[in-house]
């Protein structure tokens, strides 16, 4: 390692320790300002999570880090005789992996060294200690079948682990087939401040050569055939009771530093357990959440993931959010005629339906007849506001005129403002507001429109 890299590492490490805020639950400054939620590991199906926090792509480092890959091969033993194989890997603490690669001069290009600046945020005082932060597996082929051996104990010995055999014709992009696979166990270590935490996880594993990220990580087609997906099945779950309302809390991710997602919602909503509905209740570390009538910051997680700490915050200004149950701002918008409008001026009815659409969006156009019918059948209960996004103003005007969409319309050229603030990422998105600008439903596509109509009719 050259002197510049060494100095850079020292500066980043020192900065990390000055800025990090280790919170022991027993040593909070003012316990009345915090909510501490106990968490337990579970594999039940009360929550569904996005694949980005449950599926970890294991691939061969031979192309990316050839020197490191040669070391992996050298220290591995009791590999059975098969036609071909590669060791595929996934690190659950990438800052530690990149630090080790830098120390051993295993980087092959400057771009990898630059990545270290980002990933070093999860390193610790234990950075020079040897920890089992990575899971490795043999992925190979024998007699036309794919053979997998996961080193679940992290001892580089493939003779004391189960051999898993898959038929190459199996289609594991099918979710139902994935869910029927056996659930297995593995352990890995995380360096957290001045301790090493051992995490025991439940997982499924299967071939995944067509993963959407594989082409970015592995350029050689032959190596992609060995890629696997390690899918964790467990997560951390807890609940809190505030003013007789029970809130379910679930955390999924790799460790307290990396790739965490929080689902926090009233227990009364447990009938709606799909991923699409869960998006209304997704939070991240340092986000603000309203529980009962108080605001809290998602502050920190205990090293071993056994406790979540929420910090009470006081805001003098009104708090707005794009999530279900929150109030939105009184946004200033531009009409098709370039007049300034505000949300509060656009409805005198019980409900206001926001429709985020574009002329480029085929599903949006398919639902135009449904919106026309809704506007007619529920005219006494709702007003509709169409927010045209990204298509040209001229095309938007023409489409609205030709389809006799006789309700309020505004135009948003970019993501600034209402598109960004309401976190609109798919089209069409429908948000139903009450007369206080509170979000009482949000969703995408035809099913969302059906749900909204049912809600309005019943209320």
pTM of the predicted model as reported, rounded to 2 decimal places = 0.77
> In this structure, what is the dihedral angle of CA atoms 54, 55, 60, 65, given to the nearest 10 degrees?
-50
Q: Say if residues 280 and 224 touch (Cβ distance below 8 Å).
A: no
pLDDT tens-digit readout, 372-423: 999 999 999 999 999 999 888 999 999 999 999 999 999 988 788 899 999 8
Buried b (16+ CB within 10 A) or exposed e, 216-242: ebbeeeebbbbbbbbbbbbbbbbebee
| Over residues 358-369, mean pLDDT | 94
Quote the distance between the C-alpha of residue 421 and its chain's center. 18
DSSP helix/strand/coil, 201:
strand
Quote the distance between the C-alpha of residue 330 and its chain's center. 29
User: What CATH superfamily is the domain 332-458?
Assistant: Glutaredoxin (3.40.30.10)
- Return the higher-pLDDT residue of 291 and 119: 291
Q: Tell me how long the chain is.
A: 459
- Return the higher-pLDDT residue of 317 and 140: 140
pLDDT tens-digit readout, 42-68: 997 777 787 888 999 999 999 989 999
Domain ranges of the chain: 55-232, 236-313, 332-458
- DSSP code, position 164: E
Q: Kindly give the residue spans of alpha helices, DSSP state H, lying in 155-271.
A: 175-179, 214-217, 221-224
């Amino acid at each position: 390692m050259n002197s510049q890299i060494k100095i850079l590492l020292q500066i980043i490490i020192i900065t990390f320790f000055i800025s990090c805020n280790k919170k022991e639950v027993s040593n909070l400054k003012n316990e009345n300002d915090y909510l501490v939620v106990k968490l337990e590991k579970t594999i039940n199906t009360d929550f569904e999570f996005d694949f980005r926090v449950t599926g970890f792509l294991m691939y061969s480092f031979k192309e990316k880090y050839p020197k490191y890959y040669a070391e992996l091969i050298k220290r591995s033993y009791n590999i059975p005789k098969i036609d071909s194989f590669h060791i595929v890997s996934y690190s659950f603490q990438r800052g530690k992996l990149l630090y080790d690669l830098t120390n051993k001069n295993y980087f092959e290009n400057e771009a990898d060294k630059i990545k270290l600046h980002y990933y070093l945020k999860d390193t610790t005082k234990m950075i020079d200690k040897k920890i089992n932060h990575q899971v490795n597996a043999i992925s190979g082929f024998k007699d036309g079948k794919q053979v997998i051996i996961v080193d679940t104990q992290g001892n580089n010995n493939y003779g004391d682990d189960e051999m898993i055999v898959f038929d190459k014709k199996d289609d594991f992009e099918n979710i139902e087939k994935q869910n029927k696979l056996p659930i297995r166990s593995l352990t890995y270590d995380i360096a957290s401040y001045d301790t090493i935490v051992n995490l025991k996880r439940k997982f499924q594993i299967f071939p995944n050569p067509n993963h959407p990220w594989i082409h970015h990580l592995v350029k050689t087609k032959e190596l992609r055939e060995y890629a696997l997906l390690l899918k964790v099945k467990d997560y951390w779950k807890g609940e809190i009771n505030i003013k007789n309302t029970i809130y379910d809390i679930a955390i999924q991710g790799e460790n307290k530093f990396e790739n965490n997602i929080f689902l926090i919602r009233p227990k009364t909503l447990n009938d709606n357990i799909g991923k699409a509905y869960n998006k209304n209740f997704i939070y991240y570390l340092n986000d603000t959440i309203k529980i009962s009538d108080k605001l809290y910051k998602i502050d920190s997680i205990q090293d071993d993931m056994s406790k979540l700490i929420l910090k009470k915050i006081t805001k003098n200004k009104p708090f707005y959010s794009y999530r279900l149950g929150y109030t939105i701002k009184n946004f200033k918008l531009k009409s098709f005629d370039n007049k300034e409008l505000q949300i509060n001026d656009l409805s005198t009815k019980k409900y206001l339906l926001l429709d985020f659409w574009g002329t480029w969006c085929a599903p949006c156009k398919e639902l135009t007849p449904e919106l026309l019918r809704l506007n007619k059948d529920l005219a006494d209960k709702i007003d509709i506001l169409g927010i045209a996004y990204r298509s040209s103003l001229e095309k938007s005007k023409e489409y609205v005129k030709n389809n006799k969409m006789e309700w309020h319309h505004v135009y948003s050229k970019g993501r600034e403002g209402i598109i960004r603030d309401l976190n609109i990422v798919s089209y069409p998105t429908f948000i139903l507001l009450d007369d206080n600008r509170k979000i009482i439903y949000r969703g995408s596509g035809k099913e969302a429109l059906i749900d909204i109509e049912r809600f309005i009719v019943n209320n």
